[in-house]
Amino acid sequence: MTAADFKKWLAIGTGVGIEIAGENLMVTVVRVRPSGVRVLGELTIPRFSEQPASEWGANYANFLKKLGVAHLSAGVLLPRDEVIVRQVMLPGVSDKDLAAAIRFEIDSLNPYSEEEAVFDWARIAKTSSILVGITRRTVLERYTTRFAEAGVKVASFTFSAPSIYSAVRIYSTPPPEGFLVLEEAGDELEVYGESPARPIFSARVERSAASACTLAISELRLAPDTEPVALHDKLPQPLAAPADYDLPRASLAYATALAGACWLRPLAVNLLPREQRQSTARLRFVPAIAFASIALLLLGAVLAYPKYADGQYLALLRAEIHKLEPQARKAVDLDHQIAIARNRAQTLDTFRARTREDLEATSEITKLLTPPTWLTSLQLSRDSVTVSGETEQAAALLKVLDSSRQFRGSAFVIPIARGQNGDLFTIRATRQGVSP
């Protein structure tokens, strides 16, 4: 973004400019936007000093109210012949020491006494040249009283030089080689110019245009063939204006309104004491609103941050869980496979144990049922054994089987029968200490 673009986007505001033109007041209201300037309205109050202040003050108030800018304070342009304009060169003086240096020089810059002089100053751009405006206290008090009686809110009493300087810089920067402006002001000529040799030249003369131009060119060290331009041609041209608006006639009031519309002013010299300045523009609430908005945003952030932090932490946990899920599933699968393998090994061990136990049971029965007892069948299950055979005395076999550690609860399945060589029997006994 260039400097011109930056200036353009900062050109926002509405201003009221009042020019004290002899016995008349010229009032101009402008609205400044990055797209351009619009003149909202113009009002001429003739012979305001002869009218009752309440009367012309009511006309002024109705005029602003009709335009919807009754809240605005005005910038008032003092008559040029009642303001002494000086430029002081103070090289090497810092801004913090500037006030003391100006007060030290002020007696030599005006013919008034120390109590009578009212003055203000501003540094011109970044140069060592200081623009000083001086007027008499009685003049300033006369106008402040008059405007206060009329109910006019005044933000500044100024003069043409700082108003023109600021107005021509709203959207662009003047050419570095300088320029010269001649403007008719009644029977006199308003002369304003800028050059590399002299940042500002401002005067009101009673000479012809040719002699005034020669004087200005000499003071500004401009080229002899420099052609002066009218003030209204140098100012930003309005995009819209009332049908009867005459810019050449109201160019000074227009420049004053432009200078007061924007909150960034390249050059501001205000002869009105600070305690009497009235600033009711809505723009002055912007910093407070901005700070309040920032405070509310910070409060909302403080209140919302714990929930936001918890959400972020939960999201991180979920991401980590999602990342580790394949490994966790792999571990579960491994545990499942280990359990299956363990069960299979246990089953195999159980089957191996059953074979041994069955052999041991068979061996035990062989030891217990000795000849002349012999068996015709032997049935082994996991919890019992059933034997059938023939012996001399079958009743004694129950006691023999129960005496073993592997069998208990022996009983005849069927009654004892008599065979060729002895008793026929079928006995069932419960096995002990076997695997399931």
273, part of any domain:
yes
294, part of any domain:
no
Helix intervals (H) in 119-179: 137-149, 160-167
Residue owning tokens 């059933």:
386
Task: Estimate to the nearest angstrom the gap between the alpha carbon of 291 and the chain centroid.
Answer: 11
Each residue of 116-154: pLDDT tens digit?
A: 999 999 999 888 999 999 999 999 999 999 999 999 999
CB 15 within 8 A of CB 25: no
- Same domain? For 370 and 275 the reply is no
pLDDT band of residue 228 (cuts 50, 70, 90) is very high
- Same domain? For 118 and 257 the reply is yes
Amino acid symbol at 19: E
φ and ψ at 247, to 5 degrees? -60, -45
pLDDT band of residue 209 (cuts 50, 70, 90) is confident
Which has the higher per-residue pLDDT, 305 or 197? 197
**How far apart are alpha carbons 399 and 293 in whole angstroms?**
104
Q: Which of the listed residues 247, 280, 313 is the one where a domain comes to its end? A: 280
- Same domain? For 101 and 201 the reply is yes
pLDDT band of residue 285 (cuts 50, 70, 90) is low
Q: How far is CA 122 from CA 79, 113, 248, 269, in A?
A: 20, 22, 28, 6
Please name the residues in contact with 340: beta carbons below 8 A apart, sequence gap of 6 or more. none
φ and ψ at 180, to 5 degrees? -135, 135
350, part of any domain:
no
Q: Which of the listed residues 255, 280, 305 is the one where a domain comes to its end? A: 280
- The secondary structure element, H or E, covering residue 136 is strand 129-136
- Same domain? For 275 and 378 the reply is no
354, part of any domain:
no
pTM value > 0.75 = no
pLDDT for 53 equals 93
Whether the predicted pLDDT of 279 surpasses 80: no
Q: What is the mean pLDDT of the chain?
A: 88
Which has the higher per-residue pLDDT, 421 or 67? 67
Residue 276's CATH number: 3.30.420.380
φ and ψ at 260, to 5 degrees? -85, -10
Task: List strands edge to edge, sheet with 24-33.
Answer: 154-158, 74-77, 13-21, 24-33, 36-45, 238-240
CB 73 within 8 A of CB 272: no
**How far apart are alpha carbons 383 and 431 in whole angstroms?**
5
Whether the predicted pLDDT of 3 surpasses 80: no
pLDDT for 239 equals 94
Q: Which residues span the domain enclosing 422?
A: 365-431
**How far apart are alpha carbons 318 and 312 in whole angstroms?**
10
341, part of any domain:
no
* φ/ψ bin of 76: left (φ > 0), alpha (ψ from -120 to 50), beta (otherwise): beta
287, part of any domain:
no
pLDDT for 256 equals 94
b or e along 328-364 (b: 16 or more beta carbons within 10 Å of the residue's beta carbon)?
Answer: eeeeeeeeeeeeeeeeeeeeeeeeeeeeebbeebeeb
**How far apart are alpha carbons 106 and 118 in whole angstroms?**
10
Cα atoms found within 13 Å of the Cα of residue 84, Cβ hemisphere only = 17
205, part of any domain:
yes
pLDDT for 6 equals 67
Burial of 94 (0-12, 13-18, 19+ CB in 10 A): exposed
Task: List strands edge to edge, sheet with 117-123.
Answer: 84-89, 129-136, 117-123
pLDDT band of residue 5 (cuts 50, 70, 90) is low
Q: Which of the listed residues 240, 259, 280 is the one where a domain comes to its end? A: 280
**How far apart are alpha carbons 206 and 222 in whole angstroms?**
21
Tell me how many domains the chain contains. 2
Residue owning tokens 């054994």:
385
20, part of any domain:
yes
Burial of 99 (0-12, 13-18, 19+ CB in 10 A): exposed
